[in-house]
């Protein structure tokens, strides 16, 4: 048995269908309130389709609401006197327009495509109102004045043919001029008709779980399309031209064995994308991005394939990674440590990420920098970034005029310089140092005149609100200073930077800046460069007393450490201070090292140290039982040495025992 539902805009009370064995018509209130009045028509597969179509036509006319009086007002410009307006008013009877058609199987056996023939016959029919004579005008200008029967199908906006077992889509559906939503999920379609391009009003097309191997090129004519869903088909190289589809917001290609991703850069409004085994959903402003990676059994995965292999092979092949939505997804994906390792091993992925920082889209640049900053934290990946010549585009962007891009790029420089000495040494060039010094030398554009280069560099700041402007250029200053400090961690770089008088003067000036985050970053850079005395004078710190460094060095000796503890007690008794307050550096060897940790790090008292010696010393440092051929005491060892053939030996005796 099959059922076709017709839905209009208005909702009325419902009645039960008469019988599943015969054709029946019923009006019921649908669950989806947007679809309004609904008529369900049931028939069995064994009936003649022509007879069923005729029967259903009459059923529809009976079930539809009665025509309602409508007032039509038409305004016309006056012909005789300029400025006059003519009014033409008519009262017409109108029926609720048909809005949605849904075909479904409701039970029984037989072919899954049963009922599609009845639907196509209904689509070709013109309904005549009961009692109207043949040839009656249905356009509203004659007959009984009932409007809309001849155009009954022309008002349909939704067609739902999910799960009907279709192998061919009826071409008649493409002749509905107002059709906005077409649902064809869970069928057996291998191709779609080229006439699909005639649906100029189409906004939603869903053809999930079919057998599509291609998509008609005429689909590009559906310029109002907002959602295109083709999940779980057999698409390999779909010929999709999105250049005219500026309204497309949802594109689903999940579960297709794609070898090629159509160019998606023209889709500026795209916020929902499913591709390979990845689903990406973002809000309107791309501030919140959710990335879901599915690991279900699929042809995409093999024993040696990573979960991101299929996705990366599509987006990094051409320029798709430059789309703002994909750039946001990449930044999100690379936050995971395991994903970072995988990306770092993919040379092509690294090169494409580097190319993204040269994009004209500010959001793409920011997301690419976020991803690269995360990658730079790994030393091996940082080396790969240097081999891929990341410093060339970085140098270009550091000379640009975009404050947001500058902040994003400086974060990459900061992390990259901190990765390792080798990376930092490769990074430091005259051009980079010049750019960083220029960025460190920011001046408030509201406070003092700038050089021509600084004016061009920060002219865009003046377009921002005052508070935002100040905060932004202070952040640029801070990051530039942090980058200088991180570069100076490398000994070779530190020697190079220490010879720059202009850099030293700049850092000294910035240590007294009014902005705390700026003067702290400048002080940090000076400290890393080893300019401690200069830094002290700049921040007006107290002079360091010239008393030298107080060092306590303790030897080992097992239980002899008890003597050391007694001497330390005398020091505490004489000074009135604890050991860690008396010395600047405390170190030791063996048990002396244990004492150093206990006193300087754990801040234990000497009484506690002595207790530990007494309780554990005999267990740890007890002498082993001497063997027969081994002397038990130092005197016996000395006696053996004297009786041996050795002629010369030295003995040092420290202390005495009676």
**Residue 21 reports pLDDT greater than 90:** no
Quick check: helix, strand or coil at residue 225? coil
Q: What is the mean pLDDT of the chain?
A: 78
Residue 3: band (very low, low, confident or very high) from pLDDT cuts 50, 70, 90: low
**Are the CB atoms for 327 and 320 separated by under 8 Å?**
no
pLDDT recorded at residue 54: 79
pLDDT recorded at residue 74: 86
Q: What is the pLDDT of residues 598-634, one digit of tens each?
A: 898 889 999 998 888 777 766 666 655 555 555 455 5
Instruction: Give the C-alpha separation, 297 to 317, whole Å.
Output: 24
pLDDT recorded at residue 558: 72
pLDDT recorded at residue 426: 94
In this predicted structure, which of 65-69, 236-240, 424-428, 609-613 has the lowest mean pLDDT?
Answer: 65-69
Average pLDDT estimate for 483-489: 94
pLDDT recorded at residue 552: 92
Q: What are the tokens at 315?
A: 């987006």
Residue 19: band (very low, low, confident or very high) from pLDDT cuts 50, 70, 90: very low
pLDDT recorded at residue 135: 39
User: Locate tokens 């012909």: which residue?
Assistant: 79
User: Locate tokens 């307006």: which residue?
Assistant: 85
Torsion region of 83: left, alpha or beta (phi above 0 gives left; psi -120 to 50 gives alpha):
left
**Residue 463 reports pLDDT greater than 60:** no
DSSP assignment of 534-569? HHHHHTTPPPPPSS---EEEE---GGGHHHHHHHHH
pLDDT recorded at residue 215: 93
pLDDT recorded at residue 432: 93
In this predicted structure, which of 184-188, 451-455, 551-555, 615-619 has the lowest mean pLDDT?
Answer: 451-455
Residue 154: band (very low, low, confident or very high) from pLDDT cuts 50, 70, 90: confident
Burial group, residue 282, by CB count within 10 angstroms (0-12, 13-18, 19+): buried
pLDDT recorded at residue 658: 35
Residue 133 CA to chain centroid, in angstroms? 65
User: Locate tokens 């008890």: which residue?
Assistant: 562
Q: What are the tokens at 307?
A: 């979960």
Q: What is the pLDDT of residues 372-391, one digit of tens each?
A: 999 998 888 899 899 999 99
DSSP assignment of 136-159? ---SSSSTT-EESSTTGGGG--EE
Report which DSSP code applies to 80: S
User: Locate tokens 């267990």: which residue?
Assistant: 619
In this predicted structure, which of 4-13, 133-142, 158-167 has the lowest mean pLDDT?
Answer: 133-142
Instruction: Give the C-alpha separation, 577 to 573, whole Å.
Output: 8
Domain boundaries, the chain: 416-544, 551-629
User: Locate tokens 């539809």: which residue?
Assistant: 64
**Are the CB atoms for 240 and 215 separated by under 8 Å?**
yes
Instruction: Give the C-alpha separation, 64 to 75, whole Å.
Output: 31
Bridge partners of 77, per DSSP, are: 85
Q: What are the tokens at 478?
A: 């801070």
Torsion sign over Cα 482, 413, 359, 437: positive
Cα–Cα–Cα angle for 272, 277, 278, rounded to 5 degrees = 35
Instruction: Give the C-alpha separation, 348 to 321, whole Å.
Output: 12
Average pLDDT estimate for 152-162: 84
Q: What is the pLDDT of residues 315-369, one digit of tens each?
A: 888 788 899 999 999 999 999 888 888 888 888 889 999 999 988 899 999 999 9
Instruction: Give the C-alpha separation, 640 to 627, whole Å.
Output: 15
Pairing status of strand 68-77 against strand 204-206: unpaired
**Residue 400 reports pLDDT greater than 50:** yes
Average pLDDT estimate for 272-291: 93
Q: How far is CA 571 from CA 274, 319, 529, 553, 575, in A?
A: 74, 73, 38, 14, 6
**Are the CB atoms for 197 and 219 separated by under 8 Å?**
yes
pLDDT recorded at residue 656: 42
Q: What is the pLDDT of residues 58-94, one digit of tens each?
A: 777 777 677 777 888 888 877 777 778 888 888 887 7
Bridge partners of 91, per DSSP, are: 71
**Residue 492 reports pLDDT greater than 60:** yes
Residue 176: band (very low, low, confident or very high) from pLDDT cuts 50, 70, 90: confident
**Residue 188 reports pLDDT greater than 60:** yes
Strand order of the β-sheet with 85-94 is: 68-77, 85-94, 146-147
First to last CA, the chain: 116
Query: CB within 8 A of 155, min separation 6: which ones?
Result: 97, 98, 99, 148, 178
In this predicted structure, which of 226-230, 335-339, 635-639 has the lowest mean pLDDT?
Answer: 635-639
pLDDT recorded at residue 369: 93
**Residue 595 reports pLDDT greater than 80:** yes
Instruction: Give the C-alpha separation, 472 to 439, whole Å.
Output: 12
**Are the CB atoms for 510 and 522 separated by under 8 Å?**
yes
Residue 422: band (very low, low, confident or very high) from pLDDT cuts 50, 70, 90: very high
Instruction: Give the C-alpha separation, 248 to 227, whole Å.
Output: 6
DSSP assignment of 581-618? HH-SEEEESTHHHHHHIIIIIS---HHHHHHHHHHHHH
**636 or 99, greater pLDDT:** 99
Burial group, residue 102, by CB count within 10 angstroms (0-12, 13-18, 19+): buried
Quick check: helix, strand or coil at residue 103? strand
Q: How far is CA 521 from CA 13, 377, 480, 484, 526, in A?
A: 73, 20, 9, 9, 9
Torsion sign over Cα 256, 262, 264, 270: negative
Query: CB within 8 A of 574, min separation 6: which ones?
Result: none
**Residue 645 reports pLDDT greater than 60:** no
The proportion of the chain whose per-residue pLDDT surpasses 70, expressed as a percent, equals: 74
Residue 333: count other Cβ atoms within 10 Å of its Cβ.
Answer: 22
Average pLDDT estimate for 579-598: 88
Count of H-run helices and E-run strands, the chain? 23, 17
Quick check: helix, strand or coil at residue 196? helix
**Are the CB atoms for 156 and 101 separated by under 8 Å?**
yes
Quick check: helix, strand or coil at residue 182? strand
Q: What is the pLDDT of residues 434-453, one digit of tens each?
A: 999 999 886 544 443 444 44
Residue 279: band (very low, low, confident or very high) from pLDDT cuts 50, 70, 90: very high
**Residue 49 reports pLDDT greater than 90:** no
Average pLDDT estimate for 51-59: 77
Instruction: Give the C-alpha separation, 59 to 62, whole Å.
Output: 5
Pairing status of strand 227-229 against strand 272-275: unpaired
**306 or 272, greater pLDDT:** 272
Q: Does the model's pTM come out above 0.75?
A: no
pLDDT recorded at residue 28: 35
**Residue 13 reports pLDDT greater than 60:** no
Residue 297: band (very low, low, confident or very high) from pLDDT cuts 50, 70, 90: low
As a residue count, the chain comes to 658
DSSP assignment of 488-549? HTSHHHHHHHHT-HHHHHHHHHHTT-SSHHHHHHHHHHHHHTT-HHHHHHHTTPPPPPSS--
Burial group, residue 526, by CB count within 10 angstroms (0-12, 13-18, 19+): buried
The proportion of the chain whose per-residue pLDDT surpasses 90, expressed as a percent, equals: 32
> Which residue spans within 218-349 are E strands per DSSP?
227-229, 250-252, 272-275, 278-282, 289-293
* Radius of gyration for the alpha carbons in the chain, expressed in angstroms and rounded: 42
Average pLDDT estimate for 514-532: 88
């Amino acid at each position: 048995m099959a059922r076709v539902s017709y839905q209009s805009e208005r909702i009325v009370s419902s009645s039960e269908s008469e019988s599943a064995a015969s054709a029946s018509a019923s009006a019921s209130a649908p669950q989806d309130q947007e679809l309004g009045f609904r008529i369900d028509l049931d028939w069995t597969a064994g009936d003649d389709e022509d007879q069923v179509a005729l029967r259903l036509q009459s059923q529809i006319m009976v079930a539809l609401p009665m025509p309602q009086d409508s007032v039509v007002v038409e305004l016309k410009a006056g012909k005789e006197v300029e400025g006059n307006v003519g009014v033409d008013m008519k009262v017409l009877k109108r029926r609720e327009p048909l809005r949605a058609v849904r075909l479904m199987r409701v039970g029984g056996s037989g072919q899954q495509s049963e009922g599609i023939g009845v639907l196509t016959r209904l689509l070709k029919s013109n309904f005549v109102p009961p009692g109207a004579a043949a040839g009656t005008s249905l356009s509203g200008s004659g007959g009984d004045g009932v409007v809309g029967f001849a155009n009954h199908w022309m008002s349909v906006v939704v067609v739902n043919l999910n799960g009907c077992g279709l192998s061919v889509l009826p071409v008649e559906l493409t002749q509905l001029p107002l059709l906005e939503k077409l649902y064809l999920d869970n069928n057996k379609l291998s191709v779609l008709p080229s006439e699909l391009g005639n649906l100029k009003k189409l906004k939603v097309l869903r053809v999930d779980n079919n057998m599509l191997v291609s998509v008609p090129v005429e689909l590009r004519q559906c310029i109002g399309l907002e959602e295109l869903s083709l999940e779980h088909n057999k698409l390999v190289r779909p010929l999709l031209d999105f250049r005219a589809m500026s309204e497309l917001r949802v594109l689903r290609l999940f579960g297709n064995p794609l070898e090629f991703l159509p160019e998606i850069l023209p889709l500026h409004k795209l916020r929902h994308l499913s591709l390979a085994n990845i689903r990406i959903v973002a809000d309107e402003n791309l501030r919140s991005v959710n990335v879901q990676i599915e690991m279900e059994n699929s042809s995409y995965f093999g024993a040696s394939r990573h979960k991101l292999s299929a996705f990366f092979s599509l987006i990094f092949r051409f320029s798709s990674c430059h789309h703002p939505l994909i750039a946001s997804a990449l930044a999100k994906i690379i936050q995971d440590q395991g994903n970072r390792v995988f990306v770092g091993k993919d040379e092509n992925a690294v090169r494409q990420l580097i190319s993204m920082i040269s994009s004209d889209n500010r959001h793409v640049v920011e997301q690419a920098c976020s991803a690269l900053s995360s990658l730079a934290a790994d030393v091996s990946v940082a080396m790969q970034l240097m081999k891929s010549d990341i410093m060339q585009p970085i140098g270009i962007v550091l000379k640009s005029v975009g404050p947001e891009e500058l902040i994003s790029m400086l974060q990459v420089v900061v992390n990259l310089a901190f990765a390792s000495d080798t990376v930092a040494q490769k990074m430091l060039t005259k051009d980079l140092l010049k750019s960083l010094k220029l960025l460190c030398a920011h001046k408030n554009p509201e406070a003092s005149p700038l050089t021509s280069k600084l004016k061009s560099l920060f002219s865009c700041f003046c377009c921002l609100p005052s508070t935002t402007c100040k905060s932004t250029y202070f952040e640029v200053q801070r990051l530039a200073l942090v980058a200088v400090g991180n570069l100076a961690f490398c000994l070779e770089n530190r020697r190079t930077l220490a010879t720059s008088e202009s850099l030293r003067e700049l850092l000294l000036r910035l240590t007294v800046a009014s902005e705390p985050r700026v003067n702290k970053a400048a002080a940090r850079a000076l400290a890393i460069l080893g300019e401690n005395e200069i830094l002290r004078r700049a921040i007006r710190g107290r002079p360091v007393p010239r008393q030298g460094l107080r060092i306590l060095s303790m030897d080992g000796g097992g239980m002899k450490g008890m003597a050391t503890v007694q001497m330390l007690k005398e020091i505490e008794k004489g000074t009135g201070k604890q050991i860690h307050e008396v010395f600047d550096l405390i170190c030791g060897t063996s048990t002396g090292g244990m004492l150093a940790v206990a006193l300087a790090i754990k801040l234990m008292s000497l009484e506690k140290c002595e207790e530990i010696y007494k309780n554990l010393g005999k267990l740890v440092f007890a002498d082993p039982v001497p063997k027969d051929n081994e002397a038990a005491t130092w005197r016996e060892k000395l006696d053996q040495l004297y009786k041996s053939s050795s002629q010369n030996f030295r003995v040092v005796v420290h202390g005495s025992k009676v």
